Amino acid sequence: MDVSIIGWAHTRFGRLEGETVESLIVTVARAAVAHAGLAAADIDEIVLGHFNAGFSPQDFTASLVLQADDALRFKPATRVENACATGSAAVHQGIRAIRAGAARHVLVVGVEQMTTTPPAGIGANLLKASYLPEDGDTPAGFAGVFGRIAAAYFQRHGDQSDALAAIAAKNHRNGAANPYAQMQKDLGFTFCRTESEKNPFVAGPLKRTDCSLVSDGAAALVLASTDAAASAPRAIGFRAAAHVQDFLPMSKRDILRFEGCTEAWRQALAEAGATLGDLSFVETHDCFTIAELIEYEAMGLAKPGEGGRLALSGETAKGGRLPVNPSGGLKAKGHPIGATGVSMHVLAAMQLAGEAGGIQVPGATLGALFNMGGAAVANYVSILERRH
């Protein structure tokens, strides 16, 4: 593909006191443009990913990016949304603008501020990413939706509690080395496996350590066309970018198969001319540990029903055959909805540039990410490589 990432920025994720949606946007927008070696006037288009199903009282947020620099005034700016894949939707919108010849440089920003919303409101907002006629009364909100998925998986394939704890422990171990992560603590397998006062059951077989965190945060990147990227200090190119949308009602699908995820991976690998064996690492959407387990199967790393065996084998650990979520994933890093997909692209670019610090996968040459909205409804896969 003829599009590269040439600059990026990332806040820490977590409970960010004193910040607003606007301040988070401004911080990463300025930093990403500077990191790309550009001036704000060089940006041709702006895309903002912001879920805002009720988390922010300020709606109509696309123009907040202009607050980063007066030179952004009169640039086209659009907000996009696709549930928990909102950030990747923004990235893909930017790719389209460049491929259409409408822009040479696109600034993409993803943001969310969740922690200022009361817990009941958080649950209600997130549940809007499900099909309300079927799931609107689910106890525990979106965690309850995935709790049902986990329970159904256990019923079909046996108790996977050890595997889920292994995934949680792996991602917390990785996240301990990520300075952007909300939780930088290696919790260990035993803590993640054991029900306790600090790790109670939340929904079905899912405990607190099986659930991603409520987070504030922002990330941004600058996309460039091939000619514009030639003079950039660094360029991480897209070998592929695939987006597959599936039915919203889970009743219309086998929810344990994540077929949209499978199709997105199939399309992306075909476009990239690559196989899973060619990849150096994957960042995948572990909103809940059961999601990462099913994604192993959907992407083709494990056969149906055998994702748990893979999780326990160590093959997806940072030093394993294919490291999955070397950043700590959503589980440790946090999951500010609109920022997550942009964050995944930024961290993948850092890996391929050799600039990932303590979470660096040695010798990474080809990386991929999977970002999901809803229960495998919006499915995005990007495959990236270093150009220079």
For residue range 273-314, what is the model confidence (pLDDT) as tens digits? 999 999 999 999 999 999 999 999 999 999 999 999 999 999
Question: Which one of 10, 50, 105, 335 is the catalytic residue?
Answer: 335
pLDDT in tens, 335-367: 999 999 999 999 999 999 999 999 999 999 999
On the 0-12 / 13-18 / 19+ scale of CB atoms within 10 A, 116 is middle
* Token pair listed for 106: 């696109």
Count Cβ atoms below 10 Å from residue 314 Cβ, excluding itself: 13
User: pLDDT tens for residues 221-268?
Assistant: 999 999 999 999 999 999 999 999 999 999 999 999 999 999 999 999
Closest among 249, 153, 252, 131 to 204, alpha carbons compared: 153
pLDDT value of position 242:
98
Respond yes or no: is residue 287 known to be catalytic.
no
Q: Is residue 167 predicted with pLDDT exceeding 80?
A: yes
**Whole-number pLDDT of residue 152:** 98
Please give the pLDDT value at position 374.
97
* Average pLDDT over every residue of 71-79: 98
Q: How high does pLDDT run on average in the chain?
A: 97
pLDDT in tens, 120-163: 999 999 999 999 999 999 988 899 999 999 999 999 999 999 99
Position 1 scores a pLDDT of 65
Three-class DSSP category at 55: coil
Q: Where are the alpha helices (DSSP H) in 42-130?
A: 86-99, 119-127
Residue % of the chain over a pLDDT of 70: 100
Mean pLDDT of 3-9: 98
Residue 88 phi, psi dihedral angles, 5° rounding: -70, -35
pLDDT tens sequence across 263-279:
999 999 999 999 999 99
Q: How confident is the model at residue 52 (pLDDT cuts 50, 70, 90)?
A: confident
Q: What is the pLDDT of residue 148?
A: 97
How is 295-351 classified by DSSP, letter by letter?
HHHHHTSS-TT-HHHHHHHTTTSTTSSS-B-TT-HHHHH---HHHHHHHHHHHHHHH
- Residue 84 annotated to the active site: yes
Higher pLDDT, 101 or 52: 101
- Residues 140 and 210 sit within 8 Å (Cβ to Cβ): no
Cβ neighbours of residue 296 under 8 Å, at least 6 residues apart?
A: 302, 307, 310, 311, 316, 324
Query: How many residues make up the chain in this entry?
Result: 388
Residue 19 has pLDDT above 70, yes or no: yes
Select which of 10, 35, 50, 84 is catalytic.
84
Give the mean pLDDT of 200-213: 97
Indicate the pTM of the whole model: 0.98
The domains found in the chain, sorted by start residue, are 3-117+214-229 (3.40.47.10)
Q: How far apart are CA 55 and CA 66, in angstroms?
A: 21
Residues 6+ apart with CB under 8 A from 89: 49, 80, 81, 82, 243, 341, 373, 378, 380
Which pLDDT band, with edges at 50, 70 and 90, does 53 fall under? Answer: confident
As a whole number of angstroms, the distance between CA 299 and CA 307 comes to 11
- Helix 337-353 to helix 86-99 angle (10° resolution) is 60
Measured distance CA(191)–CA(189) in Å, rounded: 6
